Structure 1
Amino acid sequence: MRWGSFVAVGDSFTEGLDDAYPDGTFRGWADLVAVRLAAEAGPDFGYANLAVRGRTFPAVVADQVPAAIGMRPDLISFAAGGNDILRRSFEPGPMIERFDAVVAELRATGADVLLFRFADLMARLPGQRLVAPRVAVLNRAVGETAQRHGAKLVDLFADEGFDHPLLWSPDRLHLSAAGHRRVAAHVLATLGVGCDEEWLLVPPRPAPTPWLAARGADLRWVGQHLAPWIRRRLTGRSSGDTVAAKRPTLGPLTNHHP
């Protein structure tokens, strides 16, 4: 099958942090996938990316899902919940129930739906004992929901290549450019569309960091990334408070990036 339109919804994962174009705006796996699908479909291919960094699952469902359904695309990607599992108030039961209902709603439009089991990034982050079980529960639910509703599952958790540090940005939470290329390759493989084989190449692993240097890097990470995140949580702010969707309307790729 060839898709004539694609709408991506979600948070920073789908917006494209931290894979920057030369002008500083973000590309990411969804833009890469759109370009490849457009090459198959032709100049009338339409693409919208409604994802905004920092958005929680309820916000994505309330704001982006109705807009995506209204566009009537052939393909919708839905990835949300990553910001929720990092919060103390996270309750998996209600989210999983709502997730299933949303996927059913998306599939009822006749669109193909892409769902994601998230890659394992907890080895580089604090709070493993709290967050890792939440990731496991959510990933299991995503797989079951995909099977139940005939959605297309992109299983990033099964790819051990994502344990490579160069696939992640310095904040240890968002993908690097190489990481986004790898996700795009998985998405296209799931869709049965070929891509550049280099997207799946894992960069050479860097030499082990001496213990003292590694602890210094950890301290810098705390100051530059973890502390600002904690401040935002305490003050009820989000990194996406002043950010709008980069491609809010369904249109051809010739309009602007990509």
Structure 2
Amino acid sequence: MRYRRYVALGDSCAEGLDDPYPDGSGYRGFADLAAARLAERAPSLEYANLAVRGRRLDQILAEQVPLATSLRPDLVTLFGGGNDVLQGRWETRAVAEALDDAVRALAEAAATVVLFTLTDITGRLPGLRRLAPRVALLNRMIVGTAARHGAVLVDLRGDVAAGDGRYFGGDRLHLSELGHRRVAAHLLRALDIPPAENWLAPLPPVVREPYWRLAAREWTWLRHHVFPAVHGTVRNRLIGRQPGDGFVPKRPEPARVTTGG
């Protein structure tokens, strides 16, 4: 199928963190990569990306879904739920209702709606293992919601590369360039469109490193990602700030896509 207008919704992963464009012009990510591939088949394709980092499903429903439906897309992707898991405000019923309401509205507006399960990062990050049941529950919600509303499901849980540290960026939370390319490839395959040949290529073997270098990498991660994240969380709670406040969609208006990627 050749799509006319593609709108991406979601959080930081849909926005493209942690996959910057080589020229420093912003973040790319799986949605941009997929849009470029789709435009190779349909050069008139228009693409908008309404995703904003830090957004929960209720915020996506309130802020992004109405705008997305007004754009009259024929393809919509929704990648979200991770912030509901991480932000400590989990309410099972509220999360399920926000997800269902969002997908119902999108399915009424677009011929093709795509949802994604989340890879489980809780075993990779200290202190998050307790959230593993929450991730599993969210994924069951996503699977059930996709089936209920006839959405296409991209199940990322089966990608063996998600267990490799190279799948994630420097903070070990957001996808790396490699991770985004793999998600884009899974999305395209779900749409019966071939991805670039190397996007799902097996990863080369990991090169063993001396312990001093591993220790240095751990310290760098703690210093530049963990400590700032903890400080930022405490500060935001004190001043009533939400993650993502002050950020806006990177591509709010549909526009033609530059192919390649």
TM-score, normalised with respect to structure 1? 0.92
Q: 2:53 — aligned with what? A: 53
Per the TM alignment, residue 232 of structure 1 is displaced from its structure 2 partner at its CA by 2.1
Q: 1:36 — aligned with what? A: 37
Measured against aligned partners, the alpha-carbon deviations of 1:63-93 in whole angstroms (never above 9, x if no partner) come to 1111101101001111111112112222222
Structure 1: gaps spanning 5 or more residues: none
Quote the sequence identity (%). 45
Per the TM alignment, residue 210 of structure 1 is displaced from its structure 2 partner at its CA by 4.9
Equivalent pair of 2:37/2:195 in contact (CA under 8 Å): yes
Question: Alignment RMSD, CA only?
Answer: 2.0
Equivalent pair of 2:122/2:129 in contact (CA under 8 Å): no
Give the Cα–Cα distance (whole angstroms) in 2 for the partners of residues 230 and 37 of structure 1. Answer: 39
Give the Cα–Cα distance (whole angstroms) in 1 for the partners of residues 214 and 113 of structure 2. Answer: 41
Give the Cα–Cα distance (whole angstroms) in 2 for the partners of residues 167 and 160 of structure 1. Answer: 10
Letter in 1 for 2:42: A
Secondary structure at the aligned position of 1:114 is classed as: strand
Task: Report matched runs for 1:1-258 at 5 Å.
Answer: 1-24=1-24, 25-42=26-43, 44-210=44-210, 213-236=213-236, 237-238=241-242, 240-253=244-257
Per the TM alignment, residue 238 of structure 1 is displaced from its structure 2 partner at its CA by 5.0
TM-score, normalised with respect to structure 2? 0.91
Give the Cα–Cα distance (whole angstroms) in 1 for the partners of residues 48 and 175 of structure 2. Answer: 21
Give the Cα–Cα distance (whole angstroms) in 2 for the partners of residues 94 and 123 of structure 1. Answer: 26
Give the Cα–Cα distance (whole angstroms) in 1 for the partners of residues 17 and 204 of structure 2. Answer: 22
Per the TM alignment, residue 38 of structure 1 is displaced from its structure 2 partner at its CA by 1.2
Secondary structure at the aligned position of 1:78 is classed as: strand
Letter in 1 for 2:64: Q
55-64 vs 168-177, greater mean Cα deviation = 55-64
Give the Cα–Cα distance (whole angstroms) in 2 for the partners of residues 187 and 194 of structure 1. Answer: 10
Equivalent pair of 1:30/1:184 in contact (CA under 8 Å): yes
184-193 vs 72-81, greater mean Cα deviation = 72-81
Measured against aligned partners, the alpha-carbon deviations of 1:163-215 in whole angstroms (never above 9, x if no partner) come to 11111111100111111110000000000001112000133232345556444
Equivalent pair of 1:232/1:238 in contact (CA under 8 Å): no
31-40 vs 215-224, greater mean Cα deviation = 215-224
Equivalent pair of 1:47/1:251 in contact (CA under 8 Å): yes
Equivalent pair of 1:78/1:114 in contact (CA under 8 Å): yes
Measured against aligned partners, the alpha-carbon deviations of 1:127-151 in whole angstroms (never above 9, x if no partner) come to 2332111110001110111111110
Give the Cα–Cα distance (whole angstroms) in 2 for the partners of residues 213 and 22 of structure 1. Answer: 27
Give the Cα–Cα distance (whole angstroms) in 1 for the partners of residues 21 and 141 of structure 2. Answer: 34
Structure 2: gaps spanning 5 or more residues: none
Per the TM alignment, residue 15 of structure 1 is displaced from its structure 2 partner at its CA by 0.7
Equivalent pair of 2:57/2:98 in contact (CA under 8 Å): no
Give the Cα–Cα distance (whole angstroms) in 1 for the partners of residues 126 and 108 of structure 2. Answer: 39
Secondary structure at the aligned position of 2:73 is classed as: coil
Change (3 A) 1:58 1:98: closer
Give the Cα–Cα distance (whole angstroms) in 1 for the partners of residues 186 and 30 of structure 2. Answer: 10
